[in-house]
Amino acid sequence: MYLFSFVFLCISISCNAESRYNPPDNIAVDCGSSGPSLAQDGRSWEGDINSSKSFLEILHSNSSVKSQAQTQPSDIHPYVTARISRSEFTYVIPVTSTGPKFIRLHFFPSSYQGFDPSTAFFAVKANQFTLLSNFSASLTAASLGQQTIAKEFCINVEGDRRVKITFTPSETPPNAYAFINGIEIVSIPTNLYYGNDTALEMVYRLNVGGGSISPMDDTGMYRKWIEDDGYYNVIGALPVNLSLKPSFTRIPNYTAPDDVYQTARSMGNDATTNNQYNLTWGLAVDSGFTYMVRLHFCEIEENITKGGDREFLIYITNHIAEPQADVIVWSGGNGVPVYRDYAVIVPQGTEKKQSLSVALHPAGPNPDQPLPPSPATPGRFPVKPKSNRVLIPAITGGVIAGLIVLFVLGLLIYRRGRREKDSLSYVAVDRTKTGASSLPSDVCRHFSLHEIRDATNNFNNAFIIGRGGFGVVYKGCTNGGSNQVAIKRLKPGSQQGAHEFMTEIEMLSHLRYLHLVSLIGYCSEDHEMILVYDYMSRGTLRDHLYNSDNPPLSRGRNASRSASGLPKGCTTFMQMLESNQVSLAAWARSSYENGTLDQIVDGNIKDEITPECLKKFGEIAVSCLHDEGIKRPSMSDVVWSLEFALQLQEIAIDGTTPGGDQEGFKDHDALIFNGKDDEMVENGGQISSNGVTMTSNSGTTFTSSFSGDRMSSGLVFSEIMEPRAR
């Protein structure tokens, strides 16, 4: 078994050259070469062929061969030669002490004589720990854009004080082989990382704010540090304090080299700007592992001397790891280095690679440092007191001038307030006469803009789950990461203004239904219009209807297939309707054209609906089904027609007229269906409306027109305020 480790340096400290760590075991093997050699950086490497050292033993050496790379890498040692085999081989390397060791494996995926680098797939095991499985150095180097690769691990050595490193080619492809260019074994202090029963792999070791550091410039453990420019999202200030000499009272002095601790990243002194973004690093890691995140801190700015001078939040994978980090409180003073370790579980997901983010954001007051008072300039001559005759006019003039300034200032504030009130991008919370907010605060929470920014990692694009004409929807976490929410942020150019925003809050906050997403709260600070809803963690109904496992409908809304079997206890059924009756819209149109519209009426109301009302209703439905949208009626015409159909029903039942007259039809009134005109005309004692002609023996007539005055629709239907056809 093995675990991945992730080492991350955040803020820097310093140490002296004499504090370097001297490892009991410092072994560097140049595989495939003979005799000792000296690298360009001064490191001594020992070959595994005819070596004068007695510490090296190769099992199954007859199955492995040495080979030289056909191309030369930029870094020669130990990448010129390699040990290669199509069968398993093992290095047995004795050590002088037990305890944790660094094991570094060096690979140069080049073309060796008779071996294709694309077929090098193998596993590596060190004692009881599996370090690599089905590993391809060629693919890894290509993905990283590097010529050479160095994989670093940390394992504990016990028992007979030997390290057995076994290389086993994979079963596929058939001609797979294993190779190794160089092996390092370096002792490390027992308290540097976790306990002795845990194996770690180094994934990232970053020198924040500084450049790369070679292994020879480390504190004696030959670690390599890389710059963080490729992983940092926003360029921040880079304070450097080369003169600072840290006091190592909290951590050992071999923690990291000098260059790492003399650089750092900071936001600077502008509090307003600092609150608008985070110091964020994003690193791609494999899913399904536990990662150790180590953050190193040392306050190197001389004006930060006591607790509360600099406080910040620490987010790891968008969860709060430290709600109130204060380096001075942790370390005890300026220039004292400390570090914090965090275990981060990255669960197995659909993506093989996931982003592990570390973000810092200001927290607390973080007061600005007070400026020294300006020294008073001594006068050359004493000032004589002025007489009352001089002071009274001066005071009077000053009061008048002050009143004028206040009046002008009040006028400007008033006009600016009117402009902001009229602006669509500004949300003013109305208050009642008692001073309480008209928004439903008892059922709808008011979120501060700071909470919204924390929930979305300052509106990070990685949290976007939807877009629309109104703006962007983010996924976020509130209440310390315990609640997942969907945050809808209206963009300034949205057609929804302040009034619509307030109306939506007041309406949706009281709307609670099992199958509707609930409104949790809102934010209206700093000219923002933000709504917070419940987050549907399992997706929408559409996602379940059209997923790839068992899609009941195709993209064209056509039934394609269902479950292949029937559950136990299910009653089978047969198709009860004809094919032309499956679609209600098509059935209604066909029935209307064939004069059989009464056959599709619900049996419960068939005896109650009048022929003229049914005819009018059928005309409305058919007109709405016209193939060309321009020929369909507007919604206002549809509403009016439905009202007219309803009044036709009431006339036949109550004997009332559409205008409210009490005289109506007798039992012997004639109801004649004719024509299909789209307007109403008056013709003596009969009126035609969309094919319905009504004649009254009493001579009573009533007229109406689509372009005339409409009947009141408030009691039955809602009038559409946009009476334009589609």
- One-character DSSP codes across 610-630: -HHHHHHHHHHHHHHT-SSGG
Residue 246 has a CB neighbour count (10 Å cut-off) of 26
- Other CB atoms within a 10 A radius of the CB of residue 22 amount to 10
User: 206-362: which CATH architecture?
Assistant: Sandwich (2.60)
Give the pLDDT score at 201.
92
Q: Which two tokens stand for residue 216?
A: 């020879």
Give 667's contacts (C-beta < 8 A, 6+ positions apart).
Answer: none
What pLDDT, on the 0 to 100 scale, is given for residue 8? 40
Q: In this structure, are residues 289 and 272 in contact, taking their beta carbons and an 8 Å threshold?
A: no
CA 554, 558, 561, 563 dihedral sign is positive
Answer for the pair 525, 452: CB distance below 8 angstroms, yes or no: no
- Give the span between the Cα atoms of 374 and 339, in whole angstroms: 40
Residues annotated in the binding site for ATP, as ranges?
Answer: 488
| Residue pair 302/242 in contact by the 8 Å Cβ criterion | no
Between helices 635-654 and 611-624, what is the axis angle to 10°?
170
Can you read off the two tokens belonging to residue 671? 């109801």
Q: What span, in angstroms and rounded, lies between the C-alpha atoms of 510 and 503?
A: 11
Given 3.40.50.10610, 3.40.1280.30, 2.60.120.430, 1.20.1050.10, which CATH number is that of 26-202? 2.60.120.430
Gap between the terminal Cα atoms of the chain: 65
**pLDDT < 50 positions in the chain:** 1-19, 369-387, 390, 418-438, 440, 549-574, 657-726
DSSP 393-458: HHHHHHHHHHHHHHHHHHHHHHHHHHHHHH-TT-----B-TTS-BSS-TTTSEEPPHHHHHHHTTT
CA atoms lying within 13 Å on the CB side of residue 288: 8
Q: Which residues contact 115 (CB under 8 A, 6 or more apart)?
A: 67, 84, 177, 179
Class of domain 445-539: alpha beta
On whether the CB atoms of residues 452 and 523 are closer than 8 A, the answer is yes
Q: Is the Cβ–Cβ distance between 331 and 251 less than 8 Å? A: no
Let me know: does 634 contact 724? Beta carbons within 8 Å.
yes
Closest among 297, 383, 384 to 338, alpha carbons compared: 297
| Contact residues for 685 (Cβ-Cβ < 8 A; gap 6+) | 695, 696, 699, 701
Instruction: State how far the alpha carbon of 352 is from the alpha carbons of 345, 347, 349, in Å.
Output: 14, 10, 7
Please give the Cα distance from 31 to 69 (Å, whole number).
12
The predicted pLDDT at position 469 comes to 65
Name the nearest CA neighbour of 318 among 287, 361, 285: 361
What are the residue boundaries of the structural domains of the chain, listed by start?
26-202, 206-362, 445-539, 584-652
Structure tokens given for 338:
């400390």
pLDDT tens per residue across span 98-128: 999 999 999 999 888 888 889 999 999 998 8
CA angle 670, 672, 675 (to 5 degrees): 155
Closest to 4 in 3D by CA, of 112, 123, 129, 160: 129
**Crossing angle of the two packed helices 611-624 and 584-593, in degrees rounded to 10:** 120
In whole angstroms, give the CA distance from residue 588 to residue 621: 8
Write down the pLDDT at residue 315. 92
Cα 41 off chain centre by: 44
Report phi then psi at 393, rounded to 5. -60, -35
Check for a shared fold between 26-202 and 206-362: yes
CA dihedral 136, 138, 141, 147 (to 10 degrees): 140
* DSSP 3-state of 525: helix
Annotated binding site: 488
